[in-house]
Amino acid sequence: MDDKLKAAMAAQLAQLRNDYLARLPAELATLQGLGAGLSGGDADRASLDELHHRLHKLAGSGGTFGLAALSAGARTLEQRVNGWLAGSLDGQGAQAREAFSAALAALGETLTGADVPPASVAQARGAVAAPGKSTRVWLVEDDVLLGEELGRQLGSFNYVVRRFTRIGDAEHAARTERPDMLIMDVMFEQEGENATEVFALHPNLRALDCPLLFITSMDDFQSRVRAAQLGALGYFLKPLDVPRLVSRMTHIFEQQYAPAQRVLIVDDDSDLAEHYRLALLAAGMEADVLQEPVAIMEKIAAFRPELVLMDMHMPTFSGPDLAGVIRQHDKWSSLPIVYLSAETDLDRQMEAMDRGADDFLTKPISDAQLVAAVRIRIERARHLDEQINRDSLTGLLKHASVKEAAAIEVIRSRRNGKPVSLAMLDIDHFKSVNDTYGHAVGDVVISSVAMLLRQRLRQSDIVGRYGGEEFVAVLPECDAGHARLLMEDIRQRFASLRFSHEGKEFNCTLSVGLACSAAYPDSDGAALLVAADEALYVAKRGGRNQVRERKPA
């Protein structure tokens, strides 16, 4: 490598380090939030798993970017979490949790003097909202009654709404605060202002850098174009279809907070492989390098990559050799494989792709090109996976997938001694909704149930559309009492939603049947689903709009 190339590489690595340092405050804030949320007991397992994963990454990456103290501190905390996970989580006393939270906060101290801007260090040490807190939405709407009703309905979906009746008030608030989403009416009759133009002229609103949605009675092409030019992610006509609005909001937030994309790098040039890893890491992805080609299947099983980035020419085993091995395993037969090689012969490229790869990138490649190529391929793979395994209307797992998930969780429940609860939910009198308002409105009602389930349940819970207007929720490490509380919350929130069709408003209710593995120690997933279905039948027969639990006779 000549001096000029070395200098260029050094400059890129320096930029990668700066990017890493810029992301550290947010990562440390997330760690503090997870630590603050620990309550002491087995309910913390999901949070501890997340802490272990993040601390492990921090321990490995800190030293790479010259933050040895951060790396050492993260490794010590990772080992402490590992010890908790290996034993009984009930042994976490209040003092131990407080000491652990203090140690997490102290990680921010290691950034002092590491060329991190003082404001960022302060942010890393500051208090953060615990995971699961409500999402903040600003609603700028001069129709007071509409604003109140929209705020109430958004609240049912766990959004915290702050209402403004004047654009100037929102502009003033934007000087010091930032919402997670901004929703604005297009025309303010009292002020005679067009919100799209006002938004463009107010720098504080433009600087919010959050998703923007417009609501309006104006359906002309120019207004829509102006909204698009301002970066609006949605344009909704009055009278508002609130479930459709919430569906768009949910989709936007899910895209924002989607899990980091995972890439496995296979390249015999260790320096170059590390450079690729750092470039992808700087872009917010998770990346790992395969050190031993013979261990590729073990590595894939452990890391679960969403894309393999592989050199074509390597000693001992070539890229096509390893791609062929991957394709022998049904579970990974659709895993995207992209060759990244200096091979420029088109015939050889095509020959290599015939042996199991999906695309070919040519070295040298800029970091920006690499990141863009990897990101779009993983996004497409995720979309395809959703098409295959998820219901197109709700985005929930399909019937077969959620049944399989129930079976797996019941087996896991027996192994770890923790209860799993299954809930079967059904929309009451749904046929009359379709008959009265049409199937399009019925789809909105179904989608609303799905959104409530995804928002109100934990990340570890598994939700599927069982068929028609029926849903299944699989709740690992959740006893019958907690399951009932969760389902009662969802039932009540759904009953409070208002749907509209041609100026007429109506609401719907849910019936829920529950079954817990603790009451059926010898039952498998299929039998527990039957028990939940029987409980649902009892709820229906008992008058609907209620939660019932099925217990053995």
Report the pLDDT value the prediction gives residue 39, as an integer from 0 to 100.
73
The rounded distance, in Å, linking the Cα atoms of 446 and 451 is: 9
With contact defined as beta carbons under 8 Å apart, do 396 and 451 qualify?
no
Alpha helix positions (H), 257-364: 270-282, 296-303, 319-327, 346-353
Specify the fold of 262-389.
Rossmann fold (3.40.50)
Reported as type and span, the H/E element at residue 385 is helix 367-389
Report the pLDDT value the prediction gives residue 334, as an integer from 0 to 100.
84
Question: Which CATH number does 399-549 carry?
Answer: 3.30.70.270
Report the pLDDT value the prediction gives residue 316, as an integer from 0 to 100.
81
Instruction: Tally Cβ neighbours within 10 Å of residue 180.
Output: 18
Report the pLDDT value the prediction gives residue 128, as an integer from 0 to 100.
29
With contact defined as beta carbons under 8 Å apart, do 167 and 198 qualify?
yes
CATH architecture group of domain 135-256: 3-Layer(aba) Sandwich (3.40)
The rounded distance, in Å, linking the Cα atoms of 54 and 292 is: 24
Side-chain-facing half-sphere of 304: CA atoms under 13 Å: 3
The rounded distance, in Å, linking the Cα atoms of 173 and 165 is: 13
The rounded distance, in Å, linking the Cα atoms of 437 and 443 is: 11
With contact defined as beta carbons under 8 Å apart, do 184 and 140 qualify?
yes
Q: What is the pLDDT along the chain (553 residues), one digit of tens a residue?
A: 456 645 655 566 666 667 767 778 778 888 888 887 777 666 677 788 888 777 766 775 666 566 777 877 887 887 788 777 776 655 567 777 777 877 887 787 766 555 443 333 333 322 223 334 568 899 998 888 888 888 887 877 778 899 998 888 888 898 888 899 999 887 664 445 565 665 665 677 777 888 999 998 888 898 888 888 888 899 998 888 777 788 788 778 877 777 788 999 998 877 788 888 888 888 888 899 988 888 899 988 888 899 999 887 777 888 888 888 898 888 888 889 988 877 777 877 777 777 777 788 877 788 888 899 999 898 888 878 777 778 878 888 889 888 988 998 998 888 888 999 999 999 999 999 999 988 888 888 898 898 889 888 887 889 999 989 999 999 999 999 999 999 999 999 999 888 877 778 899 999 999 999 999 988 898 999 999 999 999 999 999 999 999 888 6
| pTM of the entire predicted model | 0.51
The token pair at 33 is 């939030």
Report the pLDDT value the prediction gives residue 303, as an integer from 0 to 100.
85
Report the pLDDT value the prediction gives residue 542, as an integer from 0 to 100.
93
The rounded distance, in Å, linking the Cα atoms of 296 and 444 is: 45
The token pair at 408 is 């797996």
Closest CA to 181 of 259, 260, 248: 248
The rounded distance, in Å, linking the Cα atoms of 177 and 210 is: 12
